[in-house]
Structures are given as structure tokens and as C-alpha cells.
């Protein structure tokens, strides 16, 4: 879910990503990849040019591994100024 730039209801997205991870030291890693942003619903806005749909974005991030827990922060690079997309993820490895 992302906030609608026009102040209306939130907009839901389906965002599949392909991410390559390279470990630096045993507890730090760098992520590079891309994501495809596709809206799953209608934003209800007539001129919807500020809400991305059907766009591919490159992403970069940093993360840390603490025992079996991995936490990472990613942001999209070379995005238009109106798209402020940041992803925070946590994964528990078994």
C-alpha cells in the first residue's frame, strides 16, 4: 500500500523484484536489482500520471545479518522526484 499523492485513499501495488545480494564481511551485504510496479486497483484520480503503473525501476540497498535475521533497506535509483519509494525488509533464515 502506498499513499495517494493527491490525498485520497491509499493505492495498492504488486511489486515483484529481482535482487542480487553480495556479502561484504560476514554480517553486511549490498543489494542491487529491479522491480516492476503494477497497481492492483484504481486510484480514482482522473489524471493519474504521478502514480506509477507498469514501470520498471532499478533499486539499491544495504543490509545487515544478525545471526539468522537479515534486515535491509532499499531505495529506487533514478526515479522521478515524485516517487519516494523506500522498502524495508526483514528475513529469518532457517
Q: Is the CB of residue 37 less than 8 Å from the CB of residue 52?
A: yes
Q: Is the CB of residue 8 less than 8 Å from the CB of residue 44?
A: yes
- pTM higher than 0.75: no
> What per-residue confidence (pLDDT) applies to 81?
54
* Between 84 and 89, residue with greater pLDDT: 89
The domains of the chain are located at 16-35+54-92
**Whose CA is closest to 32, among 16, 41, 21?**
21
> What per-residue confidence (pLDDT) applies to 46?
62
User: What pLDDT, in 10s, does the model give residues 20-58?
Assistant: 999 988 899 999 998 888 888 776 666 666 667 788 888
Q: Please state, as a whole number, how many other Cβ atoms lie within 10 Å of the Cβ of residue 31.
A: 19
Rounded Cα distance, 4 and 29, in Å: 32
Q: Is the CB of residue 21 less than 8 Å from the CB of residue 13?
A: no
Amino acid at each position: 500500500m502506498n499513499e495517494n499523492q493527491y490525498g485520497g485513499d491509499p493505492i495498492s501495488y504488486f511489486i515483484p523484484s529481482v535482487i542480487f545480494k553480495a556479502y561484504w564481511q560476514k554480517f553486511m551485504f549490498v543489494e542491487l536489482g529491479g522491480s516492476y510496479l503494477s497497481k492492483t486497483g484504481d486510484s480514482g484520480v482522473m489524471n493519474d500520471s504521478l502514480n506509477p503503473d507498469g514501470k520498471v525501476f532499478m533499486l539499491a540497498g544495504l543490509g545487515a545479518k544478525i545471526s539468522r535475521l537479515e534486515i535491509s533497506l532499499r531505495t529506487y535509483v533514478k526515479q522521478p522526484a515524485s516517487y519516494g519509494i523506500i522498502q524495508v525488509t526483514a528475513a529469518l533464515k532457517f
